[in-house]
Structures are given as structure tokens and as C-alpha cells.
Amino acid sequence: MGPFAIMEVFGENAKMTLQEKLATLPDRPGTYLMKNAGGHVIYVGKAVSLRNRVRSYFHASADHTPKTRRLVSEIADIEWILTDTELEALILECNLIKKLRPRFNVRLRDDKHYPYLCVTLNESFPRLTLVRSAKKDGNRYFGPYTNARAVRHSIALLSRIFRLRPCSYQITGNEPEKLCLYYHIKECSGPCAARIDQEEYRKTVEQACLFLEGHQDALLKRLKREMEAAAERLNFERAARLRDQIHALETILERQKVLSAAMVDQDVVALVSDDGNACAQLFFIRNGKLVGQEHFYLEGTTDEAMSQALGQFLAQYYQDAPYVPPEILVERDIAEHDIIEAFLRQKRGRKVHVGAPSRGEKKRLVEMAATNALEALRQLRLKLDTDKELTQESLVALKEALGLEKLPLRIEAYDISHIQGAETVGAMVVLYAGAPRKSDYRRFRIKSLGPSPDDFAAMKEVISRRLARGIQGDAKFREMPDLLLIDGGQGQLNAALEALREAGIDLPAVGLAKQFEEIYRPGESLPLVLPRHSKALHVLQRVRDEAHRFAVSYHRHLRSKRVVGSVLDGAPGIGPKRKRELLKHFGSVERIRQAGLEDLAACPGMNRHAAESLFHYLAEGEASPATPSLLSVSSASSGTESAGR
């Protein structure tokens, strides 16, 4: 929630009625949470005076919008958090909306999934990576973006232009002179083989950051100066490399459009709503040039409250944005303008102007952003209509193919994964109305079986546990499926049917065997074979493959923990903390085994005595045939992973 000087939570006394709570509201800044009869938070707001703001919702004479009237009709309880200032309340409101995602708030759709481009400055030789959240860890972050594919393309392009290393190899300075393919095709400068020193490599990273910030002109001038200096020193190899970088950057700059004669940094934001959907379009203008654009779909907006929605979008977006420009242009005046500007000024560290231009070049920019936002909404509506139609057709086809009584809106698929009985796990995935519902995915670790593989028993245990939790009223398993899909043939299906009978539950269930895509049904001796182009088959394949992926990923996670443990857990003086430091420093268990005594002693968290003990322990393990080496453990784990077929 953030470090606030005063933070008091009210509302824990469940015996107080709503009217009694309204009577005790303090006349102070804070954030309020409105709940429905089920105890779920349906709205989060902020106020400079909690007493005045919250009570205003319940005034019969208030000029409320239809959305506000619906909100008030569902309010059953209120809690609040006191803060020192309205600015602190705004920050807290943003955090709570992101965490709780209340139904009546304006919020970024799936904002937790937006990717960032990260420059790993906390590494000796930084690289570019795609991450899903920005942290205060010493790295540089750019974004958020909405298209992960575009971020990966940018990473590949910049890595190639600036020859930044693409690998996660842990460089310690004692590596052998071994060059990979990326160096030979001139897409890496070879820091792992000491072909470039750390200072020069860091300069290249700074150049990549300048490019990402939109300061391409300044970067080009610097590169041209460096190229001329290298040529004067007769360092023609470096001069040629800089020439190629300059040419690549100039090619990119030719595609950029000059939008502002003022040559300033601006963000242009337009928010439009159409047919219940809303989209915010952002133009990123750096030094007068359009260097990028993003659009974000929003939930919880209404046409009558667009000014307030725009202010909430600015607060939510710039809360996580790594860069705030000195000027933000919007297409309409925003609610609570002063507090939004104060929030942005705090994020930037300097003054930020938010304005809605009424004429001239700036007005043209926001109109262009609004036009693009409307086009993005049109594309979204077309996609949603198409997806809805295709999904409906597929589910109807599946209902008819399997002879189901009702449309299978909720399909649960199950899979088992193990290697020769080791680390047996089960997975449950859910497809609801044709879309994955990942919040309902569940994993099961099978512990009741012995070392011998038994897919049937494992499947029965998973289904039994899932059904038992549902019968007990567990909210995570309360909703029963319209169709149970088992990854496997007749044997796996029979195991699931036995679990259903023992639980006294009657559910439609089928098995899908991968080799010939045969559908096994209860009471049918021959499998059903649908045409390869069948929409019904495609639905089953999709959810079956997702269950297989989910099960295998969990199995691999457990297996990797077991492999690491088999080598390091028995080492004297190596506890969990030192194990983590060793793996972080060397990158893999195999590199720990290959490390010399001095390298082990130099690892953070290690001392000379611990390093000597580990070094001798690993040496004795390699020499003794009774002690399995990492290679033997890895080879035992590299067989085909069973998916319960």
C-alpha cells in the first residue's frame, strides 16, 4: 500500500451498520473501499475529506450518473484508510485498484501482463530482456507496452545494432576464451571471452538506452564523433563497426515522423469510448519525433464520466511508467487536475504540465490520437464479434458431436506427468466460453503412489481430490464442469469415471488419446474419430494441449529442484542460502562442479573453509562410482515425459 505517515483501517467492527459507519466518517484525506453483500470490494475511491465524499453517494438529491446509482444500490459495507494527504490517497487508490480490480472502477484491462523492456544494469555486462513488471532493482525499464512480440523484435534489433549479448551467461571474468555463434555472425561483442572490456561495453549500453529514450539525434552525433576519432587513431575495425551502427540507426530514423516543431518531449493521450468499450491511445514524442505508440483497453468506463476516467487512467499508467515527460497533452480536461499534476510531478521529480489544447499543432496531435483510438476500438469490436461467433459455433459443434444435453461452457481438462513414476503430478485447466480461465487452473502433487508409474491411479486420485474439494464447498472448486476431458485413452477415462461414481456425481466425461486423436466415451467400445478439420475436435485439442503443457511445466519444476538437491544438499557447510548464492553466481550446477577452489571462495556468501569443503566433496563425488554425478542424474531425467497416455 505504500509507506504512509498515518494509515488507519476502519471497518473491522462487523456489528456496526452501514448508517452507523457513515455517521463516524472522519473529515480527513484517505481512501475508501465499498463492498457488496458478499464482502467483495466493488469500488475504491479517494477523497480529501472522507466524510463529505462518501456521504455524497447517499444523498437522494445528488445528480448521480446511472453507473453511480448502480454502485450505490449494491453497497453493503464501507471501509477506509486514512492518509496524510490527498496525493498519498491517490497513490494508495492506484495500488488497491491494481490489486483488487473492483468492478465499478476504471482499470487497465489485464494490466499485470503488460511487458517491459529491461536493461539489466545490475549485471557487469548488461543485456536486454523482456519482463512483466518494473522493479526498483537498479535496472532500467522502458514501457509498459501492449505487444510482447514488438518488444522482442526491438530487443533483437537493438542487440544486433549495438552487439549486446543475448545470453544469460554469468560472466565472472575467469571464463575460457570460447566464442559462440553470435560473435561470429557479428551480433555480440564477445564479453564472455574478453573481446571487449567492461567500460567500452557499458558505453554501448548507454547508447542503446539513449535510443530507447528517443534521443536518436544526440546518439547519432556521438557515434559520428566516435567513428571519426577511431579513424584518426587508425582503428579502422571500430570505425567500420560504428559506421554500420550509424547506417542502421539512420534507416530507422527515416521512418519516424516529425510531429512537433518545438522539438520537445511529450506524451499525447486520447481516451475514447464506444459501445461499452474504451481505449486510451498514447503517442510518445521525443525531441519532436513520434518514436512510438501504444493503446490500452480499459474496463469500467462510461460515456458520462470520461473526464474522471481519463484522470484515473493517467494515474494508473504513470504509476508504473519508468519515464514521465515534461508535458502531457489530453483531448479533454481531466477531473482533479491539480492532484494528478502533483502526482506526476512527484514521479518525474520536476514540473509536469497536463493540458487540453484548444487549437493549433497540439490540438491536431490529440485529434490524431483520438482517431487512432477509435480505429483500435473498431478492430477490437470486430475481433470480439468474430471470436464470439467462432466460439459459439465450436461449442455447438462439440455439443452435437458428443451428444451432450447442454452447451459445454465450462470444460475441465486433466493430465498426468512423470518420468518412470518419479515426481508424478496432475494438472487441471479450465476453458470457459472458449477462453482459458487461468485463475481456475490447479496443480496436484501425487504422493500416495509408490515409485512404480501408475497413470490410472494418479488420474483417479486427481479427480477424486478435485470432486471432494467441490463437495466440501471450497470456493476454488465449487463450480462443476459441463464437460470433463481426460488426456488419455480408455484406461484413464475409466479411472476418472470410477472417481465420479465414488463421489456420487454424474458429469459428462470423455478421453482424448493423442496418437490418433480418438475420443473415448463412457459405455462405448469403439472410439469416436472426428474429421481433422472439425471445430469440435479443435476445441478438445486446444484444452487438452493446455493441460499437457501445464502438467509438464509443473513436473519439470519439481524435477529441477530434485536434480539440484541431489548434488548440493549433502555438501558440508552448504545451506539453502549458500546454495542460492552459488547458483546465482555460477548459473548452473554443472559450472559449480567445474569451478576451481579460488572461484568457489570468491562466490558471495562463501568463505575459504566452506569453499574447500565443497571443492573436496564434489571431487570425491566424481571419483566415487557410488555417488551419482550431475550427468547421471540429468540423463535419468531426460527421458520422455509421460502425459498419462
* Arithmetic mean of pLDDT, 455-466: 89
174 occurs within a structural domain: yes
- Report CA torsion sign: 197, 200, 206, 208: negative
Q: Which of 238, 257, 276 is the last residue of a domain?
A: 257
pLDDT bin (cut points 50, 70, 90) of residue 12 is very low
Q: Count Cβ atoms below 10 Å from residue 276 Cβ, excluding itself.
A: 10
Whether 301 maps to a domain, the answer reads yes
Kindly state whether residues 476 and 519 are assigned to the same domain.
Answer: yes
pLDDT at 178: 67
Tell me which of 238-242, 413-417, 540-544 is least confident: 238-242
Report helix, strand or coil for 234. coil
CB 643 within 8 A of CB 489: no
User: Are 90 and 133 found together in one domain?
Assistant: no
Give 247-293 as a DSSP string.
HHHHHHHTT-EE--TT---EEEEEEEEETTEEEEEEEEEETTEEEEE
Per-residue confidence (pLDDT) for residue 625, from 0 to 100? 42
Task: Give the per-residue SS3 of 535-573.
Answer: HHHHHHHHHHHHHHHHHHHHHHHHHHHHHHHHHHCCCCC
Read off the pLDDT of each residue in 95-102 and give the average, rounded to a whole number. 84
pLDDT > 70: percent of the chain: 84
Residues 253 and 270 in one domain: no
Tens-place pLDDT, residues 387-434 = 778 888 889 989 998 988 888 989 999 998 877 656 788 889 999 888
The pLDDT of residue 304: 58
> Phi and psi (nearest 5°) for 562?
-70, -40
**390: in domain:** no
Q: Which tens digits make up the pLDDT trace of 119-129?
A: 888 888 888 88
Q: Considering the domain boundaries, does residue 1 fall inside one?
A: no
Total count of domains within the chain:
4
Please name the amino acid found at residue 445.
Answer: R
Say if residue 604's pLDDT is above 70.
yes
Question: In CATH, what number is assigned to the domain containing residue 29?
Answer: 3.40.1440.10
* 240 and 218 within one domain: yes
Q: 185 lies in a domain?
A: yes
pLDDT over threshold 60, residue 111 = no
CB 269 within 8 A of CB 280: yes
420 and 472 both lie in a single domain? yes
CB burial class (10 A; 0-12, 13-18, 19+) of residue 161?
buried
Q: Can you give the pLDDT at residue 176?
A: 58
Q: Mean pLDDT highest for which of 173-187, 324-338, 566-580?
A: 324-338
Distance (Å, whole) CA 268 – CA 293: 9
Is the per-residue pLDDT at 353 higher than 80?
A: yes
Same domain, residue pair 410 and 534: yes
β-bridge partners, 80: 10, 32
Report the amino acid identity of residue 524: E
Q: Please tell me the pTM assigned to this model.
A: 0.53
DSSP code at position 640: P
> CA angle, 272 as apex, 267 and 275 as ends, to 5°?
160
Residue 640 has pLDDT above 50, yes or no: no
Q: Same domain, yes or no, for 368 and 422?
A: no
In the three-class reduction of DSSP (H, G, I as helix; E, B as strand; rest coil), residue 239 is classed as: helix
Give me the pLDDT at residue 412, please.
93
Check whether 645 has a pLDDT greater than 80: no
Q: Could you give the C-alpha distances from 218 to 211, 214, 249, 512, in angstroms and in order? A: 9, 9, 12, 60
Measured between alpha carbons, how far is 298 from 245 in angstroms, rounded to an integer?
39
User: End of a domain among 378, 393, 417?
Assistant: 378
Whether residue 388 lies inside any domain: the answer is: no
Query: What is the pLDDT at residue 510?
Result: 92
Which residue from 449, 388, 434 is spatially nearest to 546, judged by alpha carbons?
A: 434
* Same-domain status, 488 and 614: yes
Query: What SS3 state is found at 2?
Result: coil
How far is it, in rounded angstroms, from Cα 537 to Cα 413? 14
Residue type, 327: E
SS3 353: strand
CA–CA dist 207, 249 (Å, integer): 11
Residues recorded for the chain: 645
Q: Sorting pLDDT into bands at 50, 70 and 90, what band is 560? A: low
Q: Residues 116, 118, 113, CA angle at the centre, nearest 5°?
A: 25
Q: Cell numbers 532493482 label which residue?
A: 137
Alpha helices for 415-505 (secondary structure H): 455-471, 490-503
Are 500 and 509 in contact, with CB atoms under 8 Å apart? yes
The pLDDT-based confidence of 243 (bands split at 50, 70, 90) is confident
CA-based max dimension of the chain: 86
Return phi, psi of residue 615, to 5°: -60, -45
Looking at the structure, do residues 474 and 595 belong to the same domain, yes or no?
yes
Residue range 609-629: mean pLDDT, rounded: 66
pLDDT digits (tens, 9 = 90+) for 269-293: 988 887 667 888 888 887 777 777 7
Residue 292 sits in a domain whose CATH number is: 3.30.420
Name the pLDDT band for 150 (thresholds 50, 70, 90).
confident
pLDDT of residue 497: 93
**Preceding peptide of 576 cis, ω within 30°:** no
Torsion of CA 548, 550, 552, 558, to 10 degrees: -160
Same domain, 487 and 602: yes
Average pLDDT, whole number, for the chain?
79
Residue 44 bridge partners (DSSP): 33
Q: Are strands 435-436 and 422-432 parallel, antiparallel or unpaired?
A: antiparallel
CA distance 144 to 405: 45
CATH code assigned at 434: 3.30.420.340
- Residue 130's φ and ψ, nearest 5 degrees, are -100, 125
Q: Is residue 482 part of a domain?
A: yes
Whether 385 is covered by a domain: the verdict is: no
| Listed residues 82, 105, 128: the one ending a domain | 105
Domain that holds residue 138: 116-257
Q: How far apart are CA 211 and CA 217, in angstroms?
A: 9
Residue 32, pLDDT score = 92
Asked whether the CA dihedral 191, 246, 147, 103 is positive or negative, the reply is positive
Q: Is residue 101 domain-shared with residue 180, that is, in the same domain? A: no
Q: What SS3 class is residue 440?
A: helix
Highest mean pLDDT among 258-272, 274-288, 527-541, 586-600: 527-541
Q: Does 632 score more than 50 pLDDT?
A: no
pLDDT value at residue 60: 67
Higher pLDDT, 207 or 62: 207
CA distances to 432, 492, 529 from 515, in Å: 26, 15, 12
What is the spatial distance between Cα 29 and Cα 27, in angstroms, rounded to a whole number?
7
Highest mean pLDDT among 55-69, 97-111, 498-512: 498-512
326 plus 218 within the same structural domain:
no
Q: Smallest Cα–Cα separation from 265: which of 347, 323, 206?
A: 323
